[in-house]
Amino acid sequence: MEKYKVNYSRLQKNILILTMAWGIIYYSWWFQFYNAGNLFLYSLLFLGETYHILMAFLFWHTVWPKRNRSKPVSLSAYSSGQATVAILIPVVSEPVSVVEQTILHAKAVNYKNKNIYILNDGYVAGNINWQDYEILAERLNIKIITRRLSGGAKAGNINHALTKLKEEYLAIFDADMKPREDFLEKTMLYFADKNVAFVQTPQYYENYSDNQVTMGAWEQQDFFFGPIMVGKNHYNASFLCGTNFVIRKNTLEDIGGFNEKNIAEDFITSLKIHQQGWRSVYVPEVLASGYAPFDLGAYYKQQLRWARGSLEVLLLHNPLFMRNLTAAQKLQYFSSALFYFNGVIVVIDMMIPLIFLFFGLQPVGVSTTQFSLYFIPYILLSLYNIFQVSDHTITFRSFSFSQASFYLQLVALWSILTGKKMGFVVTDKEQKAGNYLGLCLPHLTYIVVALVAITWGYFNRGLNPAYIANVAWVLFNSVLFVPFILSSINWGKSVSPTKSFQPSLT
């Protein structure tokens, strides 16, 4: 991977068409209900395969090779620094040393009419060191807005500042996301188009090589900020990702500010902006860098927040039924939210082979060979396309982290169904001492049960094609969890972001 690059490439259209055609052939097989064995288990698998096929087609819709829709933009007041920009750094409990580095990089940004603000939520959060941010702001000669009335977490913090700012544009960075010197030069020029509401750039993790968690988190982000967001941009459906973006102040004011009722405030706010007919722009160039979650505990908190927010959008504000969105925008928002329903499907796929090994119940009544003739070409073509569109960078570890997150996705779904409140939790900006094997208890339990099931099945089912096929699925599921489990163990020394300021990230 080249530094400060996101990885993506255009797919071969003929291969993609072949994959989609075989996907239809494979899915049609499931409608031949005489293939069913145990009807209940067959229905569960049918549900799971419907989800997989739907997500596959939504993915192919996203990455379908298209011409670049972005029009050439001439340099204007927006890139020369005449338009006023407020650089906002929301903080609540992050280490002051981390915030200081972000401020120093923000001060080094090449842009004439910019002001830098710390948005201090430490007081309302009960942070005993909240005044340290005020001392920091005074020392670095920047502005600070300290909120005294709580509500709305990060969204409420920004909305509170919105009432006090005079600048025309807002550039927002998380406390650990340091902008490059040319960040505004590369983003502001798009606002020459009066219909552009915001410009989003990738989140690059400069600590991606520190450990298994940082690598897994970055590899997932690389895929998302590569082919996924590039594809969404073609449909005017790229959305705000919480940091590293610039937005028109009057756009936020028109929609009543950031949504304060959803912990994925950026996602649903983007929906509202697109409903108003605004355009969005995604720039696939890394213009700011920060830190991946340092350990599995931080990763869990981050993913749980994203899962809860996205599932809430899916279940309570389904994009498919929203007005004033194009069909393509509806599909793109729907696919992003539906991704976090994957936890339910993973559990189905985990349990089906165990049920056969313990009880001899088969969801499919035909031979393994017959089923494989439909399934294997489809899965191989699908994997080939994913490998190609990721520019050959997709890893087993990123797939492991995605699938092993099933438990936290179930927790998020259950919290919505039961009406349990879930507050906004800031991702830790330094590695904590200790291990997180407790977060892997569901995965470890599955592996133990799987070993028992394999042994039981051998002595009670015999060595036959059905037994071998189900053992293969059980072993695949178990091996898939290994990178995630290993990442829960702190193999080395604690790491914290202590790098000193450098005026350029290039």
CB 454, CB 473: distance < 8 Å:
no
- pLDDT for residue 274: 96
d(CA 435, CA 433): 7
At 489 the pLDDT is 84
Pinpoint the alpha helices (H) of 339-405.
342-359, 368-389, 396-404
pLDDT at 504: 44
pLDDT at residue 80, as a whole number: 60
Please determine, for residue 501, whether its predicted confidence score (pLDDT) is greater than 90: no
Q: Tens digits of per-residue pLDDT, 333-389?
A: 999 999 999 999 999 999 999 999 999 999 988 888 888 899 999 999 999 999 988
Minimum mean pLDDT range among 2-11, 176-185, 200-209? 2-11
Contacts of 184 (CB under 8 A, 6+ apart): 81, 85, 109, 110, 111, 114, 171, 246
Cα–Cα distance measured from residue 27 to residue 29, given in angstroms and rounded to the nearest whole number: 5
- pTM of the full predicted structure? 0.90
The tens digit of pLDDT for each residue in 304-315 reads 999 998 999 999
| DSSP character string of 323-348 | TT--HHHHHHHHHHHHGGGHHHHHHH
Strands (E) located in 102-232: 114-120, 143-146, 169-172, 178-179, 196-200, 204-205
More confidently predicted of 6 and 352 = 352
Q: Which residue has the tokens 């890139």?
A: 79
- Say if CB 238 and CB 280 are below 8 A apart: yes
Per residue in 13-51, pLDDT tens?
888 999 999 999 999 999 998 888 999 999 999 999 999
pLDDT at 483: 93
More confident call, 72 vs 77 = 77
Nearest to 361 by CA among 506, 460, 438, 432: 460
> Could you tell me how far CA 401 lies from the centroid of its own chain?
12
Chain centroid, CA 94 distance in Å:
21
pLDDT at 228 over 80: yes
206-210, 234-238, 308-312 — which one is most confidently predicted on average? 234-238
Which pLDDT does position 423 carry in this prediction? 59
Q: Can you tell me the distance from the alpha carbon of 43 to that of 30, in angstroms, rounded to the nearest whole number? A: 10
Lowest mean pLDDT among 68-77, 126-135, 271-280, 472-481: 68-77
Sheet containing strand 204-205, edge to edge, reads: 178-179, 288-290, 204-205
Name the more confident of 69 and 123. 123
Percent of the chain with pLDDT over 90: 71
pLDDT of residue 4: 53
459 by Cβ neighbours in 10 Å (0-12 / 13-18 / 19+) ranks as exposed
- pLDDT computed for residue 451 by the predictor: 96
Residue 81: the pLDDT is 64
| Segment (H or E) for 289 | strand 288-290
pLDDT digits (tens, 9 = 90+) for 50-64: 999 999 999 999 999
Q: How confident is the model at residue 324 (pLDDT cuts 50, 70, 90)?
A: very high
Selected residue with higher pLDDT from 419 and 187: 187
Q: Domains of the chain by range and CATH?
A: 13-65+339-486 (no CATH), 77-293 (3.90.550.10)
User: Region 277-302: what's the mean pLDDT?
Assistant: 93
Nearest alpha-carbon partner for 486 in 443, 454, 451: 443
Q: Which of 219, 237, 283 is nearest to 62 (CA)?
A: 237
Given a cut of 50, whether residue 1 has pLDDT beyond it is no
Question: How would you classify the pairing of strands 178-179 and 288-290?
Answer: antiparallel
pLDDT band for position 425 (cuts 50, 70, 90): low
Contact in structure between 124 and 146 (CB atoms under 8 Å): no
- d(CA 113, CA 167) in angstroms, rounded, equals 9
Q: How far apart (Å, rounded) are the C-alpha atoms in residues 76 and 60?
A: 37
User: What is the reported pLDDT for 439?
Assistant: 92
- Per the structure block, which two tokens stand in for 77? 């007041």
Q: CA torsion 418→422→427→432, rounded to 10°?
A: -80
pLDDT, residue 303, reads 92
The whole-chain average pLDDT of the chain stands at 89
